[in-house]
Structure 1
Amino acid sequence: MKQELSYTIEEVAQLLKVSKLTIYDLVKKGELPVFRVGRQMRMDAKDLEKYIADSKSPAYTAPGPKRAEAKDASPLVISGQDMVLDLLGQYIEKNSGHKALRSHKGSLNGLISMYNGEAEIVSLHMFDGDTGEYNLPYIKKILVGHPYILLNLLSRKAGLYVKKGNPFKLATWSDLNNDKLTFINRERGSGARILLDEQLRINNIPAKNLKGYENEETNHLSVASAVSSGAADVGVGIEKAAKLVGVDFVPLITERYDLVLLKTSTNEELITTVKTILTSIPFQAEIDALGDYDISRTGSVIHETF
């Protein structure tokens, strides 16, 4: 039976980076459901995820100079899960006539959505074990016949979430081949799942050797929380979630987190807008302030077809 995760009010406040008073106010208003264990209030992880997802769609429009509305500008969908994409959506809304909507699909599923005409901006962090390259090998296979541009959003560390003190002394991908470990996985199509599966393949580790491989969570925070709660010994994810949840992190790879946009006659203005935002000092400064992100290539063109 799968163990359900829950958080204290203090933990929720830390995850959302707000005060406990703010969380208590949301609970009082009925926006965040809680249950009690003795005198302590706790919140189900799934309820917190639902609150975050509901708050992201449509994306918040930050205050700023009022602009003329473009009546013919349709909403656009930004696919991916990193919090920087919410920031990008705010900048797009301030600098164009588009309303930015958020989809929280994993990298591969987001790319397929773009192929099917269901997303305008897709974020990617898909590792290819044969080339050691990120993203481009997958894009070339899926966006066949579609001209596109691939822009770097940022780089970040990916690796293993482990319990405090790293009791199993995990240091490499090969160390996952241990029948004493309980693993927690990401969903199929996510960048973290692809990274794991490729590392298992190139290190000749059968997936069946990972106890818990079939147990899935849908985001980095939930995987890190599963390790923190003791439901699992190890999971794959990014550094920032480890710090937010409070588990140790073993960095194993620097992943390139990119954005892909199709090059169409209707997308020319959007591509220009996104390029301008990514290379702007204010946008990069806000990313840098979040910590644990490398912005040295932010806004650079990784690949472009004509």
Structure 2
Amino acid sequence: MTRYREICADLAGRISAGDLAEGAELPGVRELAQRFGSTSSTVGRAERALADAGVIVTADRRRPRVAQGGAVAARRFLHADRVFRLAGSDDPALDVVSRRLGRSLQVLDAEGSFSGLRALRQSRADGAAVHLMHHTGIYNAPFATGLLRGLRPHLIHLWRREQGLLVPPGNPRGLSTAADIAKLRVAKRRQGTGTRVLFERLLLAEGCDPDTVAGPETGSHLEVALAVASGIVEVGLGVRSVARDLELDFVPLVSEQYDVVLTGAALDAAAPLVAALHDPALRAAVAALGGYDTDDSGSVEELGP
């Protein structure tokens, strides 16, 4: 490792660990040069690299300071070469995030929340995108603590999103609740997906038997919308954004929390994802899809025993 990279790694490591907090001044150039047995120009090169990465901010005639959000940017800088493997639930907004992160994020599949948790438990993935309500009424956290016991389970909050009925323009049947669809032909997500769990839970709450509802199974929210738009079915359950894409009407039913479940050991690999979720431009791009609340995007929650 070249000397300037060693200086970068040392400073980024201290910032990541919290030894240098947001707004804190870095040691002077001469002090750093002496500490590393280097030159002032090499220290200056290291500081420019950290500034370009958003870890620190520089100003004329002032020492560099740790940037707002510098700890997250420092972890992203330190682990830029790592790849975060994500399995689990399908969501159109994840496509926006994936395009932004490029090789830093590898989406393994989008076969559903259950599949994602299984891949995480089997170490085939570093994280699982999920939206599952526990019988306690809490989203995602109980599943993470139960399946990752002893592995320091965490949640990365992605966003809240609306799910509801996708219906033809004008909602010709006047549908408003899950009970209204029990006798219709419905596009359903596959077993093991969080949306299928939601679909069955909503019907059971209305006193309807989900097993009696006719209609094809689909692999994504987009496929649900396509089935409605093409007239194959009369209604489907999905996210608002796909209704907007295909000019369907949308009847909101729930707002759900959408998170990534991961172990403590995967936090470093997830640093680019966390940093991206704090970017106002990315948040705006997700919100523009329709039906997303990004106020809490990028917050990381460590779960108890």
Both proteins in one fold, TM over 0.5:
yes
In structure 1, stretches of 5+ residues that fail to align are 1-63
Rounded to whole Å, the distance in 1 between the matches of 2:155 and 2:174 is 37
Q: How does 1:148-297 map onto structure 2 within 5 Å?
A: 148-177=153-182, 179=183, 181-212=184-215, 215-264=216-265, 267-297=266-296
Please state how far the C-alpha of 1:294 moved relative to its aligned partner: 1.0
Deviations 1:34-79 (A, max 9, x none): xxxxxxxxxxxxxxxxxxxxxxxxxxxxxx99xxx99995643222
Please state how far the C-alpha of 1:107 moved relative to its aligned partner: 1.2
Q: How does 1:1-306 map onto structure 2 within 5 Å?
A: 73=81, 75-79=83-87, 80-93=89-102, 98=104, 100-128=106-134, 130-177=135-182, 179=183, 181-212=184-215, 215-264=216-265, 267-305=266-304
Does the 8 Å CA contact 2:85/2:107 hold for their aligned counterparts? yes
Aligned length: 230
Larger-Rg structure: 2
- Quickly say closer, same or farther: Cα 1:169–1:261, change in 2 above 3 A: same
Does the 8 Å CA contact 1:112/1:142 hold for their aligned counterparts? no
- Quickly say closer, same or farther: Cα 1:76–1:162, change in 2 above 3 A: same
Does the 8 Å CA contact 2:153/2:263 hold for their aligned counterparts? yes
- Quickly say closer, same or farther: Cα 1:71–1:157, change in 2 above 3 A: closer
Rounded to whole Å, the distance in 2 between the matches of 1:294 and 1:114 is 26
Does the 8 Å CA contact 2:153/2:261 hold for their aligned counterparts? yes
Deviations 1:91-121 (A, max 9, x none): 5457xxx463442221111111100111112
Rounded to whole Å, the distance in 1 between the matches of 2:256 and 2:218 is 20
Does the 8 Å CA contact 2:80/2:272 hold for their aligned counterparts? no
Rounded to whole Å, the distance in 2 between the matches of 1:83 and 1:227 is 17
In structure 2, stretches of 5+ residues that fail to align are 1-51, 54-76
Does the 8 Å CA contact 2:244/2:290 hold for their aligned counterparts? no
TM-score, normalised to structure 2's length?
Answer: 0.66
Rounded to whole Å, the distance in 1 between the matches of 2:296 and 2:105 is 27
- Quickly say closer, same or farther: Cα 1:99–1:196, change in 2 above 3 A: closer
Structure 1: 4+ residue segments shifted above 6 A: 69-72
RMSD of aligned Cα (Å) = 2.8
- Quickly say closer, same or farther: Cα 1:151–1:200, change in 2 above 3 A: same
- Quickly say closer, same or farther: Cα 1:71–1:286, change in 2 above 3 A: closer
Rounded to whole Å, the distance in 2 between the matches of 1:232 and 1:220 is 14
| Larger proportion of helix | 2
Amino acid at match of 1:241: V
TM-score, normalised to structure 1's length?
Answer: 0.66
- Quickly say closer, same or farther: Cα 1:99–1:162, change in 2 above 3 A: closer
- Secondary structure, in 3 states, of the residue corresponding to 2:269? helix
Rounded to whole Å, the distance in 2 between the matches of 1:147 and 1:298 is 21
Does the 8 Å CA contact 1:78/1:85 hold for their aligned counterparts? no
Does the 8 Å CA contact 2:113/2:193 hold for their aligned counterparts? yes
Rounded to whole Å, the distance in 2 between the matches of 1:193 and 1:245 is 21
In structure 1, the residue matched to 2:33 is none
Does the 8 Å CA contact 1:150/1:258 hold for their aligned counterparts? yes
Identical residues among aligned pairs (%): 30
